[in-house]
Amino acid sequence: MIADWTRKHLLGLEELSAREIGIILDAADDMAKLDPNATSTELKGRTVANLFFEPSTRTRNSFGLAARRLGAATLDFTSSGSSVSKGEAFIDTAKNIEAMGVDVMVVRHTSPGSPHLLAKHLRASVINAGDGPHEHPTQGLLDIFTIRRHKGRVEGLTVGLIGDILHSRVARSNIHGLIKLGAKVIVCGPSTLVPRELKLWGVEVAYDFDDILPHCDVINLLRIQFERQRTGLFPSIREYAFLFGMTGERMRRARPDLLILAPGPINRGVEVTPEVADGIHSAILEQVANGLAIRMALLKLLCGV
């Protein structure tokens, strides 16, 4: 029940219980039923600020739209073109934005732990919109929400996370959330990008996509995060696509009801071919729509509405 929600911040899925994740998913189910053309006044008088120090298309616009659909005022800060270029510190930037009367601060930053720092020093609720390679909890939630809507459950499913697990905050949030809800998670990719230690998290670690493919109910295709790699961790993009790319040929060897997810942005022809990305098994754009429902639900929960 929504009344059972007690948290002020959403910093990661690692700290949430299965029950808390369930409350968010159920609230998002209600949000998804709303008429997208109708604006509610539930967050009238509240202000939601985006504080983005890394690029974003989906998350930033989705939070802005979610806040406006609930009647909140929005404030959109991106570091490019800001006084960060004059040397203003992260914490001072956040405190100055908060001083404009912000109730919820949505933060994305390259440094793991940045939202946790703000949660200690701000009065506002803080939502982690991606902190370096650490966590991206709303992406994890919308992925799990999409799985639940398609499959009717999460418990007992086998979910393959394919690609650059090492640098992926989406992988970490997916692993925490899916395992708490009783799914089996297999991580798979080049050995340089899939840490063996993830076995300690209760995850199966694999390096051969074709071996695990027939066992998966869901495949989540993670982008190679070139921006977070300092050295070449696999021989070539062509070889990566051959070994780990989701192709029409691989689809024919998968379960007939396989669900294809990708957090976006996707690299067509690398982790997924256009025929799969745009095919009937793909829920990639549906994930984006579901992200709006998840973010509306979270804003309501954190504002105590």
Residues lying near ligand CP in the complex (CB under 6 A) are found at 56-59, 130, 136, 139, 263-265
Provide the minimum distance between the beta carbon of 162 and ligand CP in the complex, in angstroms, as a whole number: 16
The Cα 300–Cα 267 span in angstroms is 34
CA nearest neighbour of 47 among 297, 289, 288, 302: 302
Provide the minimum distance between the beta carbon of 288 and ligand CP in the complex, in angstroms, as a whole number: 8
CA nearest neighbour of 59 among 124, 109, 134: 109
Provide the minimum distance between the beta carbon of 196 and ligand CP in the complex, in angstroms, as a whole number: 26
The residue whose two tokens read 């029950």 is 19
**How many degrees, rounded to 5, is the angle at CA 143 between CA 137 and CA 147?**
145
Residue nearer to ligand CP on the CB measure, 106 or 303: 106
Provide the minimum distance between the beta carbon of 135 and ligand CP in the complex, in angstroms, as a whole number: 12
CA nearest neighbour of 10 among 107, 89, 79: 107
DSSP H helices in the chain = 18-32, 58-69, 90-98, 114-121, 137-151, 169-180, 209-212, 237-244, 248-251, 274-277, 284-302
Residue nearer to ligand CP on the CB measure, 56 or 82: 56
- HSE at residue 136, side-chain half, CA atoms within 13 A, is 26
Residue nearer to ligand CP on the CB measure, 190 or 264: 264
100 burial via Cβ count (<10 Å: 0-12, 13-18, 19+): exposed
Provide the minimum distance between the beta carbon of 291 and ligand CP in the complex, in angstroms, as a whole number: 8
Residue nearer to ligand CP on the CB measure, 139 or 273: 139
The Cα 240–Cα 244 span in angstroms is 6
Provide the minimum distance between the beta carbon of 41 and ligand CP in the complex, in angstroms, as a whole number: 27
Residue nearer to ligand CP on the CB measure, 59 or 125: 59
Residue nearer to ligand CP on the CB measure, 108 or 184: 108
The residue whose two tokens read 């990639």 is 284
Residue nearer to ligand CP on the CB measure, 31 or 129: 129
Provide the minimum distance between the beta carbon of 123 and ligand CP in the complex, in angstroms, as a whole number: 26
